[in-house]
Amino acid sequence: MAVVKCAIELRIADVVIDNHGSPMTLSELTTTLGCEPSRLHRIMRFLVHYRIFKEEPVTVDSIGFALTSLSRRLIRHGERSMAALILLESSPVMLAPWHSLSAHVNSWNSPFEAANGKDVWSYAAVNPGHSKLINDAMACDAKVVVSAVIEGCPQVFDGIKSLVDVGGGNGTALSMLVKVFPWIHGINFDLPHVVAVAPKVDSTDTSEVTCSSVSQMQTLFPYEAIPHDEGKVIIVQSVIEDNKDDKLEFVRLMLDMVMMTHTGKGKERTLKQWEYVVSEAGFTRFNIKRINAIQSVIEAYV
């Protein structure tokens, strides 16, 4: 992870894409990035070995470094970029709790809180630099998953006039949704320090997103505001399947470890655990739709 972080910080993938995606020789990369050539050579050799970049001929007697599907995910503002998420997860603040995971397996304490003195959201509230890392990381994840929701089950939004995104971060998910479903009025709901710096969403004549915040001590019961018969809660989350053939299952299990390390009680849930949560929250029925993503779409009805 540290070498991938290094590649993102050096903007190696961005430099190659600025070269019209054409392979770049070590000497071109060295000049553009201002690096020491033998060190950059060793880093590129490592990244090529892990298929994060690949070698391609530039001329008959010279080889250059080209992008692969993996390095395309490292372009800072690329379409399906994961750069911000990697920068967050490899930050010292997020890495520190992993070193004390073993010390917290016998309790419900949060390793994050033990390492950083506060829970993750309280820490972000007083550390704007870290909060920006979180918001940017959540936005890059939202771009990927919301595209999959729109593509995989657009009917989920049929007939919806008003949509509240609870914990919607900087509003990326809602702004994508109101662009595609412009009859929806979106309300992005998050903590004050997140909403205060969220970019203003461009509104068209018909689509609109407003921002709202809540103090961290307040509890929100979304279902109290849901109109009976026509309202629902849409949950976009992993459903752990214990399916060894599913090629994304390892990511869900990894995210579960991230939840354990970065939150006290957060977890990724199995179908049985979702059934329990949804019924305990007072919903009478729910359905799950699979999409082309790590997450599934759960619709819960009052």
Ligand X SMILES: C[S@@+](CC[C@H](N)C(=O)[O-])C[C@H]1O[C@@H](n2cnc3c(N)ncnc32)[C@H](O)[C@@H]1O
Q: Is 150 in the site for ligand X (CB under 6 A)?
A: no
Q: Does residue 194 bind ligand X (CB under 6 A)?
A: yes
Label residue 301 exposed, middle or buried (CB < 10 Å: 0-12, 13-18, 19+): middle
Using CB under 6 A as the binding rule, whether residue 216 contacts ligand X is answered as yes
Site size toward ligand X, by CB under 6 A: 13
Q: Does 190 contact ligand X by CB under 6 A?
A: yes
| 294 near ligand X, rule: CB under 6 A | no
Q: Which of residues 123-142 bind ligand X (CB under 6 A)?
A: 138, 141-142
The rounded distance, in Å, linking the Cα atoms of 233 and 138 is: 20
**Cα distance between residue 269 and residue 240, in whole Å:** 6
Identity (one letter) of the amino acid at 245? D
* 228 labelled catalytic: yes
Strand, coil or helix: what is 258? helix
Nearest CB to ligand X, comparing residues 75 and 139: 139
Q: Indicate which single residue of 33, 70, 214, 258 sits in contact with ligand X (rule: CB under 6 A).
A: 214
Alpha-carbon span 147 to 301, nearest angstrom: 24
Interface with ligand X, residue 212, by CB under 6 A: no
**Binding to ligand X by residue 301, rule CB under 6 A?**
no
| 209 binding ligand X? (CB under 6 A) | no
For ligand X, the closer CB: 14 or 190: 190
Cβ-closest position to ligand X: 167
Token duo for residue 273: 């655990």
When binding is defined by CB under 6 A, the residue of 72, 114, 132, 167 that contacts ligand X is: 167
Tokens describing residue 98: 């992993």
Name the catalytic one among 49, 77, 228, 262.
228
Decide if residue 82 touches ligand X (CB under 6 A): no
Interaction between residue 191 and ligand X (CB under 6 A): yes
Which one, 28 or 141, has the nearer CB to ligand X?
Answer: 141
Three-state secondary structure call for residue 15: helix
127-141 burial code (b ≥16 CB/10 A, e <16) = beebbbbbbbbbbbb
Nearest Cα neighbor of 183 from 154, 162, 165 is: 162
Tell me, rounded to whole angstroms, the distance of Cα 157 from its chain centroid.
Answer: 22
The set of catalytic residues is 228
What residue ranges bind ligand X (CB under 6 A)?
Answer: 121, 138, 141-142, 167-169, 173, 190-191, 194, 214, 216
